[in-house]
Amino acid sequence: MKTASDLQLQTNTAEAQNIGQRLGAAKDSHLRQVTKRFARNRLAVCGLVVILLLTIMAIFAPQLAPQSPERVTAYFSAPPSSEHWLGTDQVGRDVLSRLIVASRVSLFVGFATVALYVTAGTLIGLISGYVGGWLDTVIMRITDMFMAFPFLMVILVIVSALGASLQTIIIVLALFSWPGVARLVRSSVLAVKQQDYVRAGTALGLGGRRILFGHIFPNTLGPIIVNATFGVAGAILSEAGLSFLGMGVQPPTPSWGNMLSDAQSLTILTDQLWLWIPAGLMLLITVLSINFVGDGLRDALDPKE
């Protein structure tokens, strides 16, 4: 025979399960709404398809490249032909092969850089906004100091001192990119922690870590995702600019930036278009696609929608 306490326990359990089901249904509904809003943006969908194709090309670059990107042939600056679809460069290397393999470098720099600085900036912003007080003041002043540095000049100096390499570029770009994410996350945390459900969690005695990562952090993901998307495009352009200046990825390793560096003479710009137009187009298409996806995510995640 069931006692009153047993009946009350069953009732509370049923209510908890019902609340959990409603929360899960609300999350699924919100995800479906975001997906539908994103799918209605044709440019964003096209951009996502292009990024997926570029990612697949980068992953299988050694298999897709018709030749080794470092293989030197007897044809120097040869125009496009049936043997070399995009011609050869000044050293005799196949431009198409180098273009395909270079996608690995550019996309790796973009995603690795963003993964590093978004992770660091998010953690710093969460702690700064949630704890507040003197710690928030110190962190924000350090953030302001990093944002005051002349970005390109400092990066050039550091790369010159440490040596141009893929790892150095990623670390340096991430080192001076986290402040923007930290300030963005901090402002979101300051707004979210004033909500009633956060105050209710504090009143119920939930730990600060659980409130921060279980209740506040999920509600700041929208701006973080959008910022990270645009950050990938910025990191790819930064790497291309450094490589163009000779301070980035060094030959014979191909990257779209150092392929463009060959186009610094008037003769190549006017008479040997195959040496720089393909790399320029790949950069243009990649950055535009990422920006289209970022715009689509920003609109889809907008709470006003």
User: Which regions in the chain score pLDDT beneath 70?
Assistant: 1-30, 196-199, 201-208, 302-305
Superfamily name with CATH number, domain 40-300 = MetI-like (1.10.3720.10)
First to last CA, the chain: 53
Q: Which of 112, 114, 115 is nearest to 231 (CA)?
A: 114
Please write the tens of the pLDDT for every residue from 155-173: 888 888 887 788 888 888 8
pLDDT on residue 7: 46
Q: Which residue has the tokens 């600019």?
A: 241
pLDDT on residue 5: 54
Please enumerate in sequence order all residues whose Cβ is within 8 A of that of 66, keeping only pairs 6 or more positions apart, or say none: 85, 94, 96, 97
Q: How many alpha carbons fall within 13 Å on the CB side of residue 223? A: 19
The DSSP result for 147-193, as a single string, is HHS-HHHHHHHHHHHH---HHHHHHHHHHTTHHHHHHHHHHHHHHHT
pLDDT on residue 28: 54
CB contact at 8 A, 47 and 300: no
Q: Which residue has the tokens 């870590």?
A: 209
pLDDT on residue 71: 83
Q: Which of 62, 13, 216 is nearest to 127 (CA)?
A: 216
How far from chain centre, in Å, is Cα 146? 20
pLDDT on residue 49: 95
Please write the tens of the pLDDT for every residue from 236-245: 998 888 888 8
pLDDT on residue 10: 52
Please write the tens of the pLDDT for every residue from 114-142: 999 999 999 999 999 888 888 889 999 99
Please enumerate in sequence order all residues whose Cβ is within 8 A of that of 270, keeping only pairs 6 or more positions apart, or say none: none
Q: Distance between CA 212 and CA 217 in Å, rounded?
A: 6
Q: Distance between CA 119 and CA 99 in Å, rounded?
A: 30
DSSP state of 80: P
Instruction: Output phi, psi for 9, to 5 deg.
Output: -65, -45
pLDDT on residue 206: 65
Q: Which of 190, 175, 187, 188 is nearest to 142 (CA)?
A: 175
pLDDT on residue 205: 66
